[in-house]
Amino acid sequence: MEYVIEMLNIRKEFNGFVANDNITLQVKKGEIHALLGENGAGKSTLMNVLFGLYQPEQGEIRVKEKPVKISNPNIANDLGIGMVHQHFMLVDVFTVTENIILGKEITSAGRIDLKKAEREVREISERYGLAVDPKAKISDISVGMQQRVEILKTLYRGAEILIFDEPTAVLTPQEIKELIQIMKTLIKEGKSIILITHKLKEIMEVADRCTVIRKGQGIGTVNVSETNQNELASLMVGRQVVFKTEKIPSNPKEEVLKIENLVVKDSRGITAVNGLDLTVRAGEIVGIAGVDGNGQSEFIEAITGLRKSEHGSVKVRGKELLGLNPRKINESGVGHIPQDRHKHGLVLNYPIGENMVLQTYYKKPLSKNGILNFKEIYNKARKLISEFDVRTPSEFTLARALSGGNQQKAIIGREVDRNPDLLIAAQPTRGLDVGAIEFIHKRLIEQRDNGKAVLLVSFELDEIMNVSDRIAVIFEGRIVAVVDPKDTTEQELGLLMAGSSRKEAGESTHV
């Protein structure tokens, strides 16, 4: 049995905190090896050890059965290890080729030989079926394409072992399919892949074997063909995980949110929301299904006051929201879990405790006569932190230092605590592990059961199907269909999301 990479009994500590404890990872040549673990389980630390960014306190790394010491990323590169980062490291204004050769420029007489470089890039691109245009500018190509450029970059540097760090987090379903195809091609061409992820579905689909780590400990390695999603999930979390969220049937009451003929332009001035109508009633969760870029972000930003609308009407309990600023909308009973928690949801350099009062700091008893009452603020923060199981060393820890799941729990705690009539959740589980997803879904349903209206926007069909009481499909800025999750299928939704009418969609799935 030939291993290309062996990490044996790796231990890595940070100031007394054990991030990796006795983890063993063995990757065979020509396999896709998944590395599975919750957020903060130590996946990234382990990969950074392999990539030479951290030095392990204990353990041994072998590449092709030879013990090696990887003290910096250049050595990792020389050993044929390449990393496709989750956040791309590309220069926007450079072309694909310029990005790829960056740091490894081919020169003749001091000048970059761009022609030759382009030829080489094209060659590699064709060999692995990447279909990348070497002359395109990074800012002009899609996110999926940019990721391929990252892959090309590692291949250009002669990588034999590619590490993919959460590669599907930023991709559309179609792009995910293509990426999986590319990974399979890479394997055929003799490369080996380490896939860092917490998406079980993808592991089942592409990986050959899977190593699970939990809280810094190596749990074990399983053959994917001999396991299933449930087993992987419980290995990862350490307990049984319920995928199908339990919920009682909804009992919708009066209308809370009523949107009529909403028109919103995006930042480039192009109409993104184009005459959207939607109603959400008290005691129900309405899920907005759609492919990214069909106006979801602009739609949410418009009703929460972050973006101007052209015309239309958005009423919450009969009160018109359009034209109001975000503070007035907050005070009108709207809670908003924003899509981008780092951009909108949190002030990362504020303690997590102060983030808990981001919209309410000016109210009594949190402040009086313009003076903040930190005792009250932190009392409230402590209460929410324990109630919503936000794992943080203390309420004074900067929000920046928390893991994504805990940041999200903090935001949800804050929004739910304001007790809004309408809770808007935009991609609330993006990038989170199954444990956190389960928790968040439960909380959303709890809100519904308490008679609140919940509007859920998600690109994950599973989530939409699972949590919603009604599903509204958005396509090109309009709600094109409203369906009951009980009598639809993922396939039908997929077609509706692609712009087919309900009738066509029905015919092609049911016939």
**Contact, 7 vs 23, CB < 8 A?**
yes
Q: Which of 95, 146, 304, 406 touches other proteins by CB under 8 A?
A: 304
Under the criterion CB under 8 A, does residue 298 sit at the interface with other proteins? no
Under the criterion CB under 8 A, does residue 247 sit at the interface with other proteins? no
Under the criterion CB under 8 A, does residue 336 sit at the interface with other proteins? yes
Under the criterion CB under 8 A, does residue 18 sit at the interface with other proteins? no
Q: Which of 89, 91, 106, 347 touches other proteins by CB under 8 A?
A: 347
Residue among 172, 128, 166 at smallest CA distance from 149: 128
CB of 293 to other proteins, least distance (A): 20
User: Half-sphere exposure of residue 437, counting CA atoms within 13 Å on the CB side?
Assistant: 26
Under the criterion CB under 8 A, does residue 354 sit at the interface with other proteins? yes
Nearer to other proteins, 345 or 405 (CB): 345
Under the criterion CB under 8 A, does residue 344 sit at the interface with other proteins? yes
Under the criterion CB under 8 A, does residue 55 sit at the interface with other proteins? yes
Q: Which of 110, 318, 370, 393 touches other proteins by CB under 8 A?
A: 370
CB of 133 to other proteins, least distance (A): 33
CB of 341 to other proteins, least distance (A): 9
How many other CB atoms are found less than 10 A from the CB of residue 465?
Answer: 19
Residue range at the interface with other proteins (CB under 8 A); choices 101-109, 256-264, 272-280, 356-364:
356-364
**Contact, 70 vs 76, CB < 8 A?**
yes
Distance in angstroms (rounded) separating the CA atoms of residues 223 and 220: 10
Q: Decide the pairing of beta strands 81-84 and 161-165.
A: parallel
From residue 499, how far is each of 173, 291, 337, 474 by CA, in Å?
Answer: 15, 10, 28, 9
Q: Report the run of H or E that residue 380 belongs to, with start and end.
A: helix 374-387
Q: Is the torsion defined by CA of 442, 306, 257, 465 positive or negative? A: negative
Under the criterion CB under 8 A, does residue 302 sit at the interface with other proteins? no
CA triple 487-493-499, angle to 5 deg: 135
Under the criterion CB under 8 A, does residue 358 sit at the interface with other proteins? yes
Distance in angstroms (rounded) separating the CA atoms of residues 402 and 421: 29
Q: Which of 89, 362, 394, 507 touches other proteins by CB under 8 A?
A: 362
Q: Which of 115, 361, 462, 491 touches other proteins by CB under 8 A?
A: 361
Residue range at the interface with other proteins (CB under 8 A); choices 87-95, 134-142, 234-242, 349-357:
349-357
Q: Which of 71, 139, 349, 386 touches other proteins by CB under 8 A?
A: 349
Q: Which of 99, 168, 330, 403 touches other proteins by CB under 8 A?
A: 330
Distance in angstroms (rounded) separating the CA atoms of residues 427 and 349: 23
Question: What is the tally of helices (H) and strands (E) in the chain?
Answer: 17, 24
Under the criterion CB under 8 A, does residue 396 sit at the interface with other proteins? no
Q: Which of 23, 149, 194, 346 touches other proteins by CB under 8 A?
A: 346
3-state DSSP call for residue 358?
Answer: coil
**Using only C-alpha atoms, what is the Rg of the chain?**
25
Tokens of 74: 């250049």
CA triple 330-342-372, angle to 5 deg: 55
Residue range at the interface with other proteins (CB under 8 A); choices 99-107, 182-190, 348-356, 456-464:
348-356
Rounded to 10 degrees, the C-alpha dihedral 25/26/27/28 comes to -170
DSSP secondary structure letter of residue 249: P
Residue among 150, 157, 52, 152 at smallest CA distance from 104: 157
AA identity, residue 429: T
Residue range at the interface with other proteins (CB under 8 A); choices 69-77, 232-240, 326-334, 490-498:
326-334
# of chain residues touching other proteins (CB under 8 A) = 30
Nearer to other proteins, 349 or 386 (CB): 349
How many other CB atoms are found less than 10 A from the CB of residue 21?
Answer: 17
Nearer to other proteins, 258 or 400 (CB): 400
Residue range at the interface with other proteins (CB under 8 A); choices 60-68, 157-165, 335-343, 478-486:
335-343
Q: Which of 119, 327, 364, 391 touches other proteins by CB under 8 A?
A: 327
How many other CB atoms are found less than 10 A from the CB of residue 144?
Answer: 16
How many other CB atoms are found less than 10 A from the CB of residue 337?
Answer: 26
Residue range at the interface with other proteins (CB under 8 A); choices 161-169, 324-332, 465-473, 480-488:
324-332
DSSP secondary structure letter of residue 398: B
Distance in angstroms (rounded) separating the CA atoms of residues 170 and 150: 14
CB of 352 to other proteins, least distance (A): 13
Residue range at the interface with other proteins (CB under 8 A); choices 43-51, 230-238, 343-351, 385-393:
343-351
CB of 367 to other proteins, least distance (A): 5
Nearer to other proteins, 418 or 478 (CB): 418
**Contact, 265 vs 297, CB < 8 A?**
no
Nearer to other proteins, 212 or 337 (CB): 337
Under the criterion CB under 8 A, does residue 8 sit at the interface with other proteins? no
Nearer to other proteins, 136 or 372 (CB): 372
- Positions in the binding site for other proteins (CB under 8 A): 15, 55, 304, 306, 325-331, 336, 338, 343-350, 354, 358-359, 361-362, 367, 370-372
